[in-house]
Chains A and B, each alone.
Chain A
Amino acid sequence: MNLLASLRFRLAALFQRSQMSAEMEEELRSHIQLRADDLERSGLPRAEAERRARLEFGPPQAIKEDCQEAAGGTFIESLLQDLRYAFRVLRKSPAFTVVSVLTLAFAIGANAVVFAALNAVIVRPLNVPRPESLYSIHRIDDNSAGQSYPNYVDLRDRNRSFEDLAAYSFINAGLDTGENLARVWGMATSGNYFDVLGIQPHIGRFFHSSDEHGANSAPYIVLSHSYWHANFHEDPGVVGRTVLLNKHPFTIIGVTPPGFRGTLLFFSGEIFVPMVNLEQLEGVSFLNARGNRSLFMTLGHLKSGVTPAQAAADINSVSKYLESTYPKDYRHLALGLARPGLYGDYMGRPVRAFLSALMLLSALILIAACANLGSLFAARATDRSREVALRLALGAGRLRILRQLFTEAIVIALAGGALGLWGSVLLLDWLSKWQPFSRFPINLPVTPDANVYLVALLLAIASGLLFGAVPVRQVLHTDPYDIVKSGGRLTTASRITLRDVLVVAQIAICAVLVTSSIVAVRGLVRSMHSNFGFEPRNTMLVSMVLGMAGYSGEAIPTVQKRMFDAMQTIPAVTSVGMIDSAPLTMGDVNAALAFKDDTIDLRPANSTATAVMFKVAPGYFHAANTALLSGRDLTWHDDSHSPTVAVVNQEFARRLFGAATNSLDRYFKMRDGTRVKVVGIVEDGKYGNLTEKQKPAMFLALMQSPSADTVLVVRSAVDPQQLAAAIRSKLHDVDPGLPSFIQTWDQALSLPLFPMRVATASLGVLGVIGAMLSITGIFGIAAYSVSKRMKELGIRMALGAQSKEVLQAALGRAFKLLAFGSLAGMVLGLLATKVLAFIVYLATPRDPLVLAGVVVSMALLGLLATWIPAQRALSIDPLNLLREE
């Protein structure tokens, strides 16, 4: 019989069970009657005949059971029986049940959350058609994907591997609907972007390559579905409406479908505009600037049959062609293909490494939980050995008893799994809605899907089988006669039991978790207090894009100076600075090539350094608290009428001039040939993110190289939050129509610190779960060993043993296991934290505080867990105990 038919039969049998059972009884009764009739006919009285007939027939209940089994209804029936029994038993020991269900709920919940993140980030690709063939083009050396617009056009038209290539970069613009002016984040995309991805509009239409006719030829806006939902209440009438984007008229032509979140996992643009109109929005011409790598990413689908390796070779040959054709503007560096969702390996590698490490740790938690429950189950099986022996003696099969134990384990596992999954779904929903930064549309789309539910279910069942299997050997070796005779304690012969191994393994795992979370927390704390090259405390950052209010050209420095002066008039403000983009706030920094002064041929290959480039107004270093080591600050006289000057950091001086000391008043060249004089040296700092290697940096004069991006740095003696209102009103006086974003520098740091915070928080949670598990684990074994040895301890006490000796006898083993497990876990944990160094700046296990922290925590956990059992051991009254027996 095939499986389905068999199942159907069994189910049918189950539903017809009562009918069948009645029929069966009737049939057996009728048999006995017929037999009795025969016996009566042979001369027996009726009553005697019936008695004889019943006797000959055999035990009716057993036969009925055999018949039911033969008829096929028994599997589900005995399962129901087992379930009923399991519920009854579990209800009888609520503490055990609650502890085990909670333990598993935490373990499975942690796994579900981490797996959901892994699923969302790695397994589940971007929500676009045919994601498997979608690739972006990255430089192999630093994973960057930036290209200049002309290079993108050449790559697009000259490659033979991609169906088509699209490109995008980010815009931050002021969207004026006539009712209100709001800052929006969006994507400036090539005209073919939606066609390359194969996305169809929800309503209206998308723009296409055919809409592009040179600079500023396509003033169209496509709204993302979520922005449309949140700001236009899904009004289909928005299509065709004209709005102002940075004061330029644009027409809303369509809305993206609801599931489409762009091509970068964590960043979903609110609007999409054609890249050819970027010039209008940002006031910078880049369509013909081959040296300006301002596009964020180029991506497309491979043609069918083309492998990524072939495509990479193709792209590299285009790149070599570009170098030979435009040697002044293009340097060939090996290109490769990568997945666009996490910006190739740039974010992908640390995110994957971290999530995999987290997955490993949570798997360890689950194993620890199973070990924990396994030893609890083994202990229970020992305590129930009398019951088991009795059932064996009464003729129950060992298999049946095992099945019963497994049913209990699975019931607990499923209950724990359901509870854990429920918790994790709540957490994941919250995470998916969470916008960690008010300033950017960044979020973590980690909504659980069927995969997550399935994994949670499988984990629950697997762990149930795993910890349910621990007492199997014990049951199989139970000798009913021995146990019934001796009063019911199974004694294990071997010195090291399975339970000891489980406990050590579990403590080791918990020590790994505790170690890694202490390392992470310590790393975070240290990096919060490390030297960034500026002082973020007590400082407000006011960010603006002047283009949003229509400023361009000469108007920019004028309004900047007015705002700068306005800030100075606020009481309590100690110093004001101005910079185009504050360090450690955007995650991305402008870079420029720097050449030695004697370089004639300014092709990229001849540059000495790629330096971080900031444009600052006088007073910035004072306001940012960046130490000026030698030379002078920039002044307001360093303007377009005077020679170009720069302040550089020590690293820059070392790279360009060999040493920081003799660098003052020397010159370096920019790519366009401008000679720049170094007038000051400042300390090194962090610019893009905390884990970066020391980068060379140049600070140009804002008056000499204007920027529409403006950040006012306002330092005060008081809590900077109190200044926000004053700042806002002063800015309003300067220009009421200029959108600005005000936050403290500390708040702005949350972006570079975000990965570390996430890492630390998740490790912290896992660490706490680990600690809880080790407490219950140690508690379990200690309490059990005390209760098992009550009598022995009582005798020892009666014979005059001291408390110390009693404790040693009762808990020595638990402590030995604890020490052994902690040591193993610590060593493993220190090895594991190497992975952490990717994400958490300054995370090093070679830190005496970390080691001490781990030792102290584990010892505290041990003390906590053994406290109650120790009290119990000490309070043994030998007289009472001996009287009981």
Chain B
Amino acid sequence: MSDVVVTGMGVVSAYGRGVPALLDGLATGRPPSVGASDDAATRPIDRAVLDGAEPASWLASAIDEALAEARWPSRAPSPLLLLAAQAEAPPGEQNPLSAPNTVVAGARRWDRPLVVSHACASALFGIHLAARLIRGGAHDAVLVAGVSVCNPYASESLRVVKAIGTAPSRPFDRVRDGILIGEGSGAVLLERASAAAARGVTPLAELAASVAQIGGRSSVASDPEVVYACMVRALDEAGASGLDYVHAHATGTVQGDEAELQAVARLVAERAWPAVSVSSHKGALGHLLHASAFPGVAVAVSAVRDAVIPTTVGLREPVVIDGVDLPVEGAALRRNRPVEHALVNAFGFGGNNASVLLRRIRPLVPPRTTESPDLG
């Protein structure tokens, strides 16, 4: 087993509060209801699905869920918190683009948490940093969390570089035309495998590898070479002999989706692997910006744990590319064979490129094979 494992996750999304709500919603293949907005660039959460919970509570909600799932002892010291965000707030001021200076979740409080700032790849860079801190011996457990709430500044930051599309966002579709901004929060608890075992906790997944690089030829466009290099390194570092699923960054832009698909296709072709299933949550949730990788990690954890692979909401006319299976919107694929490896990608302005590879926790007793057909 890898020396770093995922033991807890939390999410607030347009499907509701909690990871199960997200996974159940995506499994239906239908979009969630959307809240009212004057800004055509945004796809805010319908507050009714959260029983009116205000955005100020979303980060704490995700953290609470992750710690509860990990059975983190209530009296134990809090794990280190890394926030996926743009910047620290100025002294005495809070604005929608800045990280909170203090995070309170339940009885826990973190003052001036470290801010991991890698645009829309921040959450995966945070996971990479967490893994380094655990492997380096500085910490046994690190919590990575973030929240994104629709605001005019984020909208303008994407509008000014012509990245905004029309509703709804349609990743991988022939008629895709850009990003719509969503909102929500996420949290993932990473632990040293031996520490989790000592607590008697069964991990959700292994962190098989993480790659976090700054590179590329453009400040805003994805570079297929760098995307490819990230994925290859993640697979090689993990010693993976195959790849079952990619939860793509796939924001719905013409160039970005194409670059990512090219990279996946090249990877599959060069290794003579069977076609790999690729999907994205952004057709359903929109783009959660700094927090955008959290739903992807939750989906990938579910893929390796439950062998469930969601389709891409909004995808009706997929582009065709060898080696890549792009399931159109509809019910999730339920594999009757184990999903060993699931890769999560996240890319961002400023040359931010990250891939995280999750691996299935192998059961102590091998499961019996079944005769049911493979629905995937």
B is bound to A: no
Which A residues fall within an 8 A CB radius of B? none
Which B residues fall within an 8 A CB radius of A? none
